[in-house]
Amino acid sequence: MFTGIIEAVGHLRRIERRGDDIRLTVDSGKLRLDDVQLGDSIATNGVCLTVVERLSDGYVADISAETVSLTGFDRYQVGQAVNLEKAVTPSTRLGGHMVSGHVDGQAKVLEVSARGQATEYWLEAPQSLARYIAHKGSIAIDGVSLTVNQVEGARFRLTIVPHTSSETTLPLLKAGDWVNLEVDQIARYLERLMQQDAVDKPSAGVSFEQLARAGFIR
């Protein structure tokens, strides 16, 4: 589990294709690795990866074909900058929101523009994920916990403050780029609970229409 508060920006040192899978070697930058053990999780551009080898200045992790199909790793190149965050501990401050590191899909960057000292991004999510994105709800973009400031169908707007820009890879994004997208877990569980409720009690419980009016789903 992660918070979406990025600890460091690293770089991909090696990308090894193993059939449909990928083995990554990541230069961890300023991320401290002294407390990282084999088997620990590190979110790499929002993807929860398991450390299979720890280096003095980085780590090695494997990415399955399933994860490759849902993320941007198939397009990444050696030298690419990636956002890094170690898994939370019982004493970690929850500064962002609960992020699982299980990416749901990819969103396309449509527009990037300055607004005062901040930067605004318009993105478009796949139709299958758009219903989980709500105004003032939480979302993870390449592992960064962000607040959705506007929603228009499958399009949504993010406003990034200077501090977040300086500590993440977000300033590298431009129109036409794709990012890893993880929607809020609460929305996914609510949908599943509603589906089960419809099976068990077709005429009882909260309806999808009521949840939509309350802003939980779209």
75 vs 171: CA distance, rounded Å: 19
**Both 82 and 12 in a single domain?**
yes
Is 100 a domain residue? Answer: no
pLDDT value at position 190? 82
Start-end of H helices in the chain: 65-70, 127-130, 162-167, 185-200, 208-213
Give the whole-angstrom CA distance, residue 175 versus residue 41: 31
Do 76 and 12 share a structural domain? Answer: yes
Residues in CB range of 152: below 8 A, 6 or more apart = none
Query: 77 and 142 share a domain?
Result: no
Residues 114 and 69 in one domain: no
Q: Are residues 114 and 172 in the same domain?
A: yes
121 and 177 fall within a common domain: yes
Does residue 190 lie in a domain region? no
Does 71 lie in the same domain as 24?
Answer: yes
Per residue in 34-67, pLDDT (tens digit) is: 999 999 999 999 999 999 999 999 999 999 999 9
- pLDDT tens column, 62-108: 999 999 999 999 999 999 999 999 999 887 777 888 899 999 999 99
Both structure tokens of 63: 């990415």
- Could you give phi then psi for residue 26, rounded to 5 degrees? -115, 125
Quick one: pLDDT at residue 92?
Answer: 78
The answer to whether the CB of 144 falls within 8 A of the CB of 46 is: yes
pLDDT digits (tens, 9 = 90+) for 1-37: 999 999 999 999 999 999 999 999 999 999 999 999 9
The CATH number of the domain holding residue 72 is: 2.40.30.20
Q: How many domains does the chain have?
A: 2
Residue 118: other Cβ atoms inside 10 A: 14
Residue 200 belongs to some domain of the structure: no
- Non-local (6+) Cβ contacts of 84 within 8 A are 6, 7, 8, 9, 10, 26, 28, 29, 31, 42, 43, 44, 143
**Domain span at residue 53?**
8-86
What is the band of 199 on the pLDDT scale with cuts at 50, 70, 90?
A: low
Answer yes or no: is 27 within a domain: yes
118 with 149, same domain: the answer is: yes
Assigned domain for 198 exists: no
- 99 lies in a domain? no
Mean pLDDT, rounded, for 103-116: 97
